[in-house]
């Protein structure tokens, strides 16, 4: 659902202002803490991840570009009204159309968190997205896929689609696992994959 651009801009301005005055408005749910305190620091630290695409923007992702100083951090969001929460290098578009928006192999890492079940809701849409990820990410680039295993946000079992065979599960060092369950209430988990050549 498209949000009001004016409302989003006011919200972005308000959060920027509050953060500048030391009032932290960021979400503190366990899945967000896992993303910001475990996953992002590893991406920032590891030199193999220089070019990162983050899909889906909201008020609580406003500060994400600032966590990736020295790296190329781009954002993509289907709703134009959410662009004010994106990076300087932001594209309005769908993750189902990555081939049309980006170049082959341009990313070392793609973070697709909270998009499945929040707009990208059909097996066809997920298949198209995975094909686009395979195209836009270099061989052995990292996909971070986060989702909520709740009836409202899991329209079908995400790993039932065949295009996952374009990627390979990857043991992500800080979690020492291919999967990290961050939140038992929201049933949120992160899954890590590398791109097959």
Ligand X SMILES: C[S@@+](CC[C@H](N)C(=O)[O-])C[C@H]1O[C@@H](n2cnc3c(N)ncnc32)[C@H](O)[C@@H]1O
Which tokens go with 104? 């082959």
Least distance (Å) from ligand X to the CB of residue 109?
14
**Closer residue to ligand X in complex, CB, 76/194:** 76
∠ at Cα 90 (16, 127), nearest 5°?
125
Least distance (Å) from ligand X to the CB of residue 197?
26
Which tokens go with 18? 């509050």
* Interface with ligand X (CB under 6 A): 55-58, 61, 76-79, 82, 94-96, 113-115, 118-120
**Closer residue to ligand X in complex, CB, 115/167:** 115
Least distance (Å) from ligand X to the CB of residue 37?
14
**Closer residue to ligand X in complex, CB, 144/194:** 144
User: What Cα–Cα distance (Å) separates residue 94 from each residue in 26, 41, 55, 125?
Assistant: 25, 26, 9, 10
Query: How many Cβ atoms sit within 10 Å of the Cβ of residue 50?
Result: 15
∠ at Cα 69 (60, 64), nearest 5°?
10
Least distance (Å) from ligand X to the CB of residue 52?
13
Least distance (Å) from ligand X to the CB of residue 90?
11
**Closer residue to ligand X in complex, CB, 135/168:** 135
Query: How many Cβ atoms sit within 10 Å of the Cβ of residue 183?
Result: 15
Report which residue's Cβ sits closest to ligand X: 119
**Closer residue to ligand X in complex, CB, 120/133:** 120
Whole-angstrom distance, CA of residue 179 vs CA of residue 191: 4
């Amino acid at each position: 659902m498209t949000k009001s651009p004016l409302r989003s801009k006011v919200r972005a301005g308000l959060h920027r202002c509050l953060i500048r005055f030391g009032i932290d408005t960021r979400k503190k749910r366990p899945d967000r803490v896992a993303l910001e305190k475990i996953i992002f620091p590893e991406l920032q630290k590891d030199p193999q991840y220089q070019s990162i695409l983050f899909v889906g923007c909201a008020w609580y992702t406003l500060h994400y570009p600032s966590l990736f100083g020295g790296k190329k951090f781009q954002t993509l969001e289907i709703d134009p009204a959410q662009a004010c929460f994106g990076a300087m290098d932001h594209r309005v578009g769908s993750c189902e159309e990555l081939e049309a928006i980006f170049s082959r192999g341009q990313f070392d890492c793609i973070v697709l968190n909270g998009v499945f079940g929040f707009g990208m809701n059909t097996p066809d849409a997920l298949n198209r997205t995975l094909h686009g990820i395979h195209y836009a990410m270099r061989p052995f680039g990292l996909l971070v896929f986060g989702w909520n295993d709740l009836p409202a946000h899991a329209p079908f079992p995400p790993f039932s689609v065949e295009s996952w065979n374009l990627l390979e599960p990857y043991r992500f060092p800080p979690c020492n696992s291919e999967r990290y369950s961050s939140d038992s209430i929201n049933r949120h988990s992160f899954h890590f994959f590398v791109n097959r050549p």
